[in-house]
Amino acid sequence: MPVPPPPSAVPPLPPNPWGDRRRLRVGLLGGSFNPAHDGHRHIALLALRRLGLDQVWLLVSPQNPLKSPAETPPQPVRIASARAIAGRHPGLRVSGVEARLGTRYTADTLVALTRRFPRTRFVWLMGADNLAQIDRWARWGTIFRTVPVAIFARGPYSQRALAAKAARRFAPFRLAAGAAHALAATRPPAWVYLSIRRHPASSTALRAARGVS
């Protein structure tokens, strides 16, 4: 019987239907996925469509450096949760590659992935809540300088996110939402804010409903 790949394996890149004419476009939705939910799927599917991506990887972090390890279930448990949300959608992949790369900070992960896959155009994806506080992340300017970034509206965070330090610092590099399709092929820094239909799901609410802190 074939042995399944370990959960932290780098997802195999799909064959590039564009050959040498166009580089593969991969969105990276980094998260704890504790647990994964329909809000993750909602923005992953919108990213595929609005950004014209070939794939989105649900990148299950080994440990968010700003969250308590005691409150974070083991990565394989969260990978299983992300797999259930990705289902059989051909554009969605689940990866725990940061465990294999030995990276914990997003800046390091992006530098490592862009080196490992020099022909792939990666885009970092995140909700507006994270744009609002990304200036607390390690070497966060490197993130914007390494790959294009797409931000998705979430709950009440939009105004705060667009007024936050990162949005102000990189304001000259913001693309109009109408140019979202061009983001993956734009040299970083480049970012776009997408005022999508909000999805109310959150892991915090799901944990509370399950009686988990």
Residues lying near ligand ATP in the complex (CB under 6 A) are found at 29, 31-34, 39-40, 43, 126-127, 129-130, 152, 154, 199, 201-204
The residues near 130 (Cβ < 8 Å, ≥ 6 apart) are 151
For ligand NCN, give the closer residue by CB, 25 or 146.
146
Is 65 a residue that touches ligand NCN (CB under 6 A)?
yes
Find the shortest distance in angstroms from Cβ 108 to ligand NCN: 8
What are the CB-based long-range contacts (under 8 Å, 24+) for 166-173? 166/131, 166/134, 166/135, 166/140, 167/131, 167/193, 169/141, 170/144, 173/144
Within residues 148-207, the interface with ligand NCN by CB under 6 A covers none
What are the CB-based long-range contacts (under 8 Å, 24+) for 169-178? 169/141, 170/144, 173/144
For ligand ATP, give the closer residue by CB, 102 or 200.
200
CB-nearest residue to ligand ATP = 127
From the list ligand ATP, ligand NCN, none, partner contacted by residue 95 (C-beta under 5 to 8 A by kind): none
- Angle of helix 38-50 relative to helix 75-86, nearest 10 degrees, comes to 60
Positions that interact with ligand NCN (CB under 6 A):
30-32, 59, 61, 64-67, 105-107, 130, 137-138
